[in-house]
Chain A
Amino acid sequence: MKLDYGKYRGIIVSIALFLLLDASVMSLNFYISYEISEDAVGVNIAGRQRMLSQRMMKSLLDMRSVLVASESEGADITSVLNSALKELDATVNMFHATLIAFDEGGLAPGAEGGEVLLKPAGSGASVAALHEAKQIWAPFYKQLNALQKTNLTAESQIFLAQLNTAVAYGREYNLTLLKLMNQLTGELENVASSKASRLRWIQTAGISLAIINFFIIMFHFLRQLRDSDRHIEVARGETQEILDTVNEGLFLIDKEQRIGEQCSKALADMFGRRDIAGKSFNDLLSGIVSEKDRATATSYIGLLFDLRKKQKLIGDLNPLRQVEIYIPQADGSYVNKYLSFSFSRVMSEGNIIHILVTVVDVSKQVLLAGELDVARAQGQEQLALLSTVLQADSDMLNMFLKNSVSSFAKINEILKHQAKSVPQYIDKANQIFALVHNYKGEASALNLGRFSSQAHEFEEQIIALKNRSELTGNDFLGLAVILNKLIAETESIQDLLSKVASFRSNTKTSVATLAANNGDYLSFSHLQMLATKISERQGKEVEVVCTGFNDVALGDEAQSTLNGLAVQLVRNAVSHGIETCSSRILAGKRPQGEINLRIAKRNNGDLQLVCEDDGSGLNREAILRAALERGLISGEEDLEGDDRRLAELIFHPDFSTRDAADEDAGRGMGLFALRQTVREMGGKIAINSRNGRGARFVVSIPVTALQMNVAV
């Protein structure tokens, strides 16, 4: 990271000043200390000058007293004098050299032997003292040098005279010279002392300044730090407020795909965990999205960190644009959510330093979209239903719907009644089949193709069920599902019709009016339609002649029941009785077959429904053959003349003379269904058949059953 020097200029200057101050104090200290040590040498040497002046005087006086003593005693004193002269010479030379060095600067003999460098004395007093000393010393030095040069043995008198002169000069100036050397020493001491004192001042001032500087730095920067901390705290507080308030999940990912330390609070709710900061992104996704999505997300983020890849181009590759996540709960269950992740590069100086991840919970939108799709599909479904039913006769449609509802309720009751053995399950399937078959017939008669094909599908399922070797309650699940579907569609139509009816409330033909109609006469023209439709499919022509339908006033339920029976009878007659046009011509009949359908009220109150056709009649051989093939009778069984047994066969649920089933016939369930309905009402069926001339079905229903139905 680049350092912002502007921000730190103050502290840098202060620290530099502090260091400069310390360095200056230190160098001054070093310099002055050095000078003081030099001055101390000077003081020492100057002190030695005092001692040397006295030693010279003492040597002179000693020599003279030796000489005087030798004259009276006559002893040989040469060696003693020579040694005294030698010492004097050393003393004189040392004094002289030192004095010159003090005056002009230069080398002087040191205290410890060797030499020391002296600077010329600088202060006025010492210069004056030196000047005066030099004036006194110069003649004295000459005298002493002359003494040295005089031959002691040859010129003893001259030596004595010179010695006396020197002693006399020395006596005169000895004290002055001592005083001057004292002055020099004192002056040098003063200089050294003043330097030491200066040094103390400098040190004190330097340290004081350093302390002041330190406090300035401390107070100034503490304040600055405090301000800066406060700003950081405020900024952090604001960031935290944003992160706590924002509805989106926000976090940063670094190059190692690790989540940053700051995350928005919403994330905790989205992911159901709080330990997100600092975690690896891969770990966050672990267990909540599919392994495939997780792997793709990791490589996608890798691509995002690659500066050469254009973000716009790879944006479409985002595998987490809308992803369903499963969040494990404490109790082991899961909560599902739809989350949308978006990724943005965070750039700094041309480099991608982080990826900003924004997560939005889009569960509501996704579910809403799903609901809209369902609603749209339902709308289309209803439209299709409406187009199916609008073509039907409204009276008949209403009756059909009521019949349907009642049939479905019966089917459900049959399902509800629990069976325990396979035969019971088969019986259950047969009962349901009969009801569905009736329903199919009615739907087909009204040309409600959608319902008849659904009923056909229902039948297929029941047949498939019956063909299973093992049968359990669970196998009936499919029937319950299709029943539910039929009920739902029927309800949907009723709902639609009642809405339509509300717009047509005043018209005579309205469904609402019809629904309230009781005891009205119904047109059974749909039976002709049914017969025509079936016969056309089978290459036949049929006329249905209805009589007596308007002679008997019936309640809604009775009408429905009668209609159901009539439909089954007509279907059966067209499919199994009436021959094809060509066969009829060959048999010398009119190409168009005829079905007579009559309703009559008998004296005992029973209602009689007769269906008579001019077809081929029951084909005994074909019935026996089919019954044999289907295992309903054994080969040895002799049914010759046993019409009752033959009738039982054709009413058996597994009986059919057709090889393949279609929408019209083929499962043999039509007559079974007919018999079921009649039995339920306590009625009976009689059959007459003449080979090649036709068959007649007579259905008698007791009046009590019809009254009950009317009452219902």
Chain B
Amino acid sequence: MTEDKLQIFIDGVVRYFEHTADNDMRVGTPYLASNADPISMDYTGIIGISGNNKGCVYFTAPKIMLKHLMMSLGEPDTSEANMIDLVGEVANTISGNARRELGKDFMISVPVVVSGAPSKIHLPSEMRSYVVPAVWRSYSAAVVICLQA
């Protein structure tokens, strides 16, 4: 997995946060995490990927961040359903960006939102994932990229 390709997924999240009022999303230093112990927060939006590279990319965020994010986007209803929608939207933005940039080599699925970590199907335990922290205000979410070479 090349840096350029990983960057496309990070850009997807950055792109989403461009819609927020303060546009103050910072990308933290990316690091590696074993899939045996995946990084996950309250809600996780997963996009499955196959084609030249297989695996998944997911956006995981804590409830509190999603709540504040929704308020910043002018959405007063911070119900769970809306939080799930929001995570799905972020995942969709990542997916859209990736599809636009990588369409030829990638098959990208429709985003699925789950509570907690993605299943083993998405994250083969013998692999590592790239974890890219996405810090917004004082909250930290993450884009996790787990793709076979």
Contacts and interface: CB of A to CB of B under 8 A. Distances in A.
Contact of B29 (A324, A334, A418): A418
Given A324-B104, A370-B52, A473-B133, A333 B109 contact: yes
B107 A473 contact: no
B32 A484 contact: yes
B22 to A, nearest CB: 17
Contact of A477 (B30, B50, B51, B96): B30
A607 interface: no
A473 B50 CA distance: 28
Interface in A295-345: 324, 326, 329, 331-336
B29 A428 contact: yes
Contacts of B29: 415-416, 418-419, 425, 428, 473, 476, 480
Contacts of A480: 29-32, 130
Given A329-B110, A367-B51, A418 B6 contact: no
B121 to A, nearest CB: 17
Interface string A355-371: 00000000000010010
Interface in A483-499: 483-484, 487
Contact of B7 (A412, A419, A477): A477
B110 A326 contact: no
Contacts of A335: 107
Contacts of A334: 99, 103, 108
Interface string B109-138: 110000000000000000010111101000
A418 B110 contact: no
Contacts of A415: 29-32
Contacts of B3: 477-478, 481
A472 B24 CA distance: 13
Interface residues of A, number: 30
Nearest to A409: B32
Contacts of A412: 31-32
Chain A CB count within 10 A is highest, among B28, B99, B130, for B28
Interface residues on B, range: 35 or more
Contacts of A332: 92, 96
A211 interface: no
B149 interface: yes
Contact of B26 (A326, A331, A472): A472
Interface in B1-30: 1-3, 6-7, 10, 26-30
A375 B76 CA distance: 51
Contacts of B50: 367
Contacts of B132: 473-474, 477
Interface string B90-112: 00100110010001101111100
A552 interface: no
Interface string A407-419: 0000010011011
Contacts of A367: 50-51
Contact of A476 (B30, B92, B104, B110): B30
Contact of A473 (B30, B96, B149): B30
A416 B31 contact: yes
Nearest to A416: B31
A218 interface: no
A385 B30 CA distance: 27
B145 to A, nearest CB: 10
Contacts of A483: 32
A484 B130 contact: yes
B84 to A, nearest CB: 15
A515 B110 CA distance: 46
A370 B106 CA distance: 12
Contacts of B140: 418
A12 interface: no
Contacts of A370: 51-52
A374 interface: yes
Interface in A455-490: 472-474, 476-478, 480-481, 483-484, 487
Interface in A480-533: 480-481, 483-484, 487
A148 to B, nearest CB: 127
Contacts of B107: 335-336
B31 A336 contact: no
Nearest to A484: B32
A474 B2 CA distance: 14
Chain B CB count within 10 A is highest, among A374, A474, A483, for A474
Contacts of B1: 481, 484
A412 B95 CA distance: 27
A365 to B, nearest CB: 14
A336 B110 CA distance: 12
Contacts of B7: 474, 477
Contacts of A324: 104
B128 to A, nearest CB: 6
B149 A374 contact: yes
The 10 closest A-B pairs by CB, nearest first: A415-B31, A474-B27, A473-B28, A476-B29, A480-B30, A336-B107, A473-B29, A416-B31, A333-B110, A418-B28
Given A333-B109, A336-B107, 5 more contacts: A332-B96, A333-B110, A370-B52, A474-B30, A478-B3
30 contacts: A324-B104, A333-B92, A333-B108, A333-B109, A333-B110, A334-B108, A370-B52, A374-B149, A412-B32, A415-B29, A415-B30, A416-B131, A418-B28, A419-B29, A472-B26, A473-B30, A473-B132, A474-B7, A474-B10, A474-B27, A476-B29, A477-B3, A477-B130, A477-B132, A478-B3, A480-B31, A480-B32, A481-B1, A481-B2, A481-B130
